[in-house]
Amino acid sequence: MRLSVPPEHVEIQLGERSYPIWIGSGLLGDPSNYLALPAAATALIVTNTTVAPLYAATLRAALAGRFREVHVLELPDGEAHKDWQTLNLIFDALLSHGSDRKTVLFALGGGVVGDMTGFAAASYMRGVPFVQVPTTLLAQVDSSVGGKTAINHPLGKNMIGAFYQPQLVLCDLATLATLPPRELSAGLAEIIKYGPIYDMDFLAWIESHIDALVAREPVALAHAVKRSCEIKAAVVGQDERETGLRAILNFGHTFGHAIESGLGYGEWLHGEAVGCGMVMAAHLSERLGGIDAAFVQRLTALIRRAGLPVVAPALGAERYLELMRIDKKSEAGEIRFVVLDKPGSAIMRGAPDAMVREVLAQCCAA
Ligand code: NAD
Ligand code: GLY
């Protein structure tokens, strides 16, 4: 399949840390996209064993005229490898190549590669420049934008990390052609998220284009990626370090992170857990009076049409509560949920454990 749409861009406005997000087909192989990067002798492309055979040679060739040395590091693939041991492979590569503090890191892959490369860039020599080249739908619409970087801890998801912005994000839509269908659906979860929390017109647009998105229709995908990046840029531009507003981007994530860590990282995809977590958060929002049952059903139907699970795994209510207390939004042991206070608007608040147990009873498999 060929995806061909003219490139467009979204600017993320963060003062001296501002950067462009370019969206289009064939971007990663075009050397002109890298001309504005800071001058440096060496580059390290961090990717994984799945993405490297598909795209690393193209990126490397595009960078060859810009850097004297371009190295490629292939990490093991998967959420289960988003850990200290794998992160250390990036530092091993940087040090063994004699990389200096101007070395530019390129994150070529999905959110796992992007989050780990970003964290390595934030930490190596106290900070080196990095570029996000996201190759999953999820990474193009969410994880590559906004500067959250992290690794997982066995006791909690994304618990160790830093805010560190890239120099540039290149969303090459052509890379989505090789994405497995399950991964495409996972990306749709984060696209759907932007509707109920921020933009009801976008939610209606997704509902009327969900079949086109699942079928990877190029114009529909390009619009979905661009609108998602615009919303994310608007939110992050107001609250880079999540002191308030940015938390709305975690709609569905408190339940979702519990599913991911409770089942073991990689069992459910992050986007699958977020999709199901949004169903659970919608039920909680209804119980708290923010939305009605019809809106819960509307959102659930869309998530199902995107090919995502809408019934949560039966981990047990106490285990869910235990896992959710480890969430970064928790304060003094109180779980704080992102809920809808009306369609198109979200807030963060606590909820009585008894109410959360009712939601779990309603949403989990028997
Ligand atoms: P992922 O990085 O594991 O990629 C999914 C799978 O697709 C992997 O097997 C990968 O090798 C493969 N892949 C990547 N690009 C491909 C392509 N073009 N063709 C074929 N296969 C390809 O998962 P993801 O869904 O991209 O990212 C999930 C991660 O992102 C989670 O760790 C999550 O916590 C994180 N995340 C971070 C943020 C943030 O703001 N930093 C936001 C959302 C999610
Ligand atoms: N994915 C949530 C955030 O970037 O804040």
Please spell the DSSP secondary structure of 36-92, one letter per residue. TSPP-SEEEEEEETTTIIIIIHHHHHHHTTT-SEEEEEEEPPSGGG-SHHHHHHHHH
Nearest to 281 by CA among 359, 203, 173, 185: 359
pTM here is: 0.97
- CA–centroid distance, 64 to ligand 2, in Å, is 33
Average pLDDT on 226-234 reads 98
The answer to the question of residue 2 being in a domain is: no
Q: Which domain holds residue 120?
A: 8-178
CATH of the domain at 200: 1.20.1090.10
- Which is the closest atom of ligand 1 to the Cα of 118? 41
Q: Check whether residue 211 and residue 145 sit in a common domain.
A: no
Which pLDDT score, from 0 to 100, does residue 100 have?
96
Do 219 and 185 reside in the same domain of the chain?
Answer: yes
Q: Residues with Cβ < 8 Å from 237, sequence gap 6 or more?
A: 12, 13, 14
Same domain flag for 172 and 264:
no
> Hey, what amino acid is at 97?
H
- Domain end (from 126, 151, 178): 178
Asked if residue 350 and residue 231 are part of one domain, the reply reads yes
The stretch 252-268 carries a mean pLDDT of 94
- What total number of domains does the chain contain? 2
> Considering 163, 178, 193, which residue would you say is the last residue of a domain?
178
Same domain, 120 and 203: no
Confirm whether 90 is domain-assigned.
Answer: yes
Q: Which amino acid is at 3?
A: L
Share of the chain above pLDDT 90, in %: 93
Integer angstrom CA distances of residue 2 from 22, 140, 185, 220, 222: 18, 18, 19, 14, 13
- Ligand 1 — pocket residues by CB below 6 A? 48, 50-51, 54, 77, 79, 82, 109-113, 115, 135-136, 138-139, 142-143, 146, 148, 158, 175, 178-179, 183, 186, 269-271
Cα dihedral: 223, 277, 333, 244 (round 10) = 20
Mutation to probe ligand 2, out of 157, 164, 198, 232 (largest number of atoms < 8 A from CB): 232
Q: Mean pLDDT over residues 195-209, rounded?
A: 98
pLDDT-derived band at 332 (thresholds 50, 70, 90) equals: confident
As a whole number, mean pLDDT of residues 280-294 equals 98
Structural contact between residues 296 and 283, judged by C-beta atoms closer than 8 angstroms: yes
Residues 169 and 279 in one domain: no
* Banded model confidence at residue 3, pLDDT cuts 50, 70, 90: very low
* Ligand 2 atom 5: residue of nearest CA: 249
Give residue 326's pLDDT band: very low, low, confident or very high (50, 70, 90): confident
Return the ligand 1 atom nearest residue 139 CA.
Answer: 26
Instruction: Report the pLDDT averaged over residues 76-92.
Output: 97
Round the average pLDDT of the chain to a whole number and report it.
96
Q: Based on the fold, state whether residues 60 and 185 are members of the same structural domain.
A: no
Q: With pLDDT > 70 as the criterion, what percentage of the chain qualifies?
A: 99
- 55 lies in the same domain as 165: yes
79, β-bridge pairs: none
53 and 110 together in one domain: yes
63 and 147, same domain (yes or no): yes
Question: Tokens 């089942």 label which residue?
Answer: 263
- Please indicate, yes or no, whether residues 40 and 127 belong to a single structural domain of this protein: yes
Query: 193 catalytic, yes or no?
Result: no
Q: Is residue 3 part of a domain?
A: no
Name the amino acid, one letter, at 321: L
Shared domain check, 80 and 163: yes
Task: Indicate which CATH number applies to the domain containing 128.
Answer: 3.40.50.1970
